């Protein structure tokens, strides 16, 4: 297995920019014998197309895994460090260990931190150009969107089901009205600048 050149995992994340919720990473090893049509950067796809492709990716890929880092980890590590943690967890969740990993962006985490050896490649714009990364982008985005919709039921009033934690005007207004909940990233402006932590919203 270690010499099999087909064991290439694409890795991407969703949720670096929001004020609330986790950063979610996905890792996908596609099956070259069973290609998937329509893969693209998740941001370029409609929600319906993403959901349809996510089902196909889970069914046809050789392996897929998801990892998350929550708001507390983001505040403790910073968003880049938490993103590496989420990516490591996604790769470690794969049923098959890859021999090569392609990551969207211009930086790679340390392979030593993953607990297994592999080679790494950073691909700027890879979520739109590399099938494995596109697939990971779609899985990460759909998993995070589902997570935030569930969070909206546990923390009503913030509108998480609509903006998914991103800093929209409606979210900023709700944050000012209700104060932050435990899902908010307290190191992020404008959450930090509101100075509401003495009276947080009940969880």
CATH number at 110 reads 3.30.420.10
- Residue 199 pLDDT level (bands cut at 50, 70, 90): very low
Average pLDDT over residues 38-65: 96
Average pLDDT over residues 135-148: 98
Tens of pLDDT along 58-112?
A: 999 999 999 999 999 999 999 999 999 999 999 999 999 999 999 998 887 766 6
Residue 191 resides in a domain: no
Q: What percent of the chain has pLDDT over 70?
A: 89
Which of 50-59, 62-71, 167-176, 189-198 has the least mean pLDDT?
189-198
Residue 197 resides in a domain: no
Residue 178 resides in a domain: no
Task: Assess whether pLDDT exceeds 70 at residue 156.
Answer: yes
Residue 163 resides in a domain: no
State the DSSP code for 42.
G
Average pLDDT over residues 179-192: 94
176-192: buried (b, 16+ CB within 10 Å) or exposed (e) per residue?
eebbbbebbbbebeebb
Task: Assess whether pLDDT exceeds 50 at residue 203.
Answer: no
End-to-end CA distance of the chain: 47
Number of domains, the chain: 1
Residue 45 resides in a domain: yes
Report whether 97 contacts 27 (CB < 8 A): no
Domain that holds residue 105: 8-153
Task: Assess whether pLDDT exceeds 60 at residue 3.
Answer: no
128-139: buried (b, 16+ CB within 10 Å) or exposed (e) per residue?
bebbbbbbbbbb
């Amino acid at each position: 297995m270690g010499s099999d050149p087909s064991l290439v995992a694409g890795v991407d994340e969703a949720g670096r920019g929001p004020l609330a919720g986790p950063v979610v990473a996905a890792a996908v090893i596609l099956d070259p014998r069973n290609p998937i049509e329509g893969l693209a950067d998740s941001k370029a796809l409609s929600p319906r197309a993403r959901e349809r492709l996510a089902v196909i990716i889970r069914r046809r890929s050789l392996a897929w895994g998801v990892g998350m880092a929550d708001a507390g980890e983001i505040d403790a590590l910073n968003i880049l460090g938490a993103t590496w943690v989420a990516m490591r967890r996604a790769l470690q969740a794969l049923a098959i260990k890859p021999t090569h990993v392609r990551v969207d962006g211009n930086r790679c985490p340390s392979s030593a931190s993953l607990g297994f050896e592999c080679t790494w490649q950073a691909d700027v714009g890879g979520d739109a150009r590399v099938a494995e990364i596109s697939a990971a982008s779609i899985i990460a985005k759909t998993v995070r969107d589902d997570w935030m919709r569930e969070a909206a039921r546990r923390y009503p009033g913030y509108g998480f089901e609509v903006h998914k934690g991103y800093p929209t005007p409606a979210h900023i207004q709700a944050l000012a009205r209700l104060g932050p909940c435990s899902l908010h990233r307290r190191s992020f402006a404008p959450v930090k600048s509101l100075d509401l932590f003495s009276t947080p919203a009940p969880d």
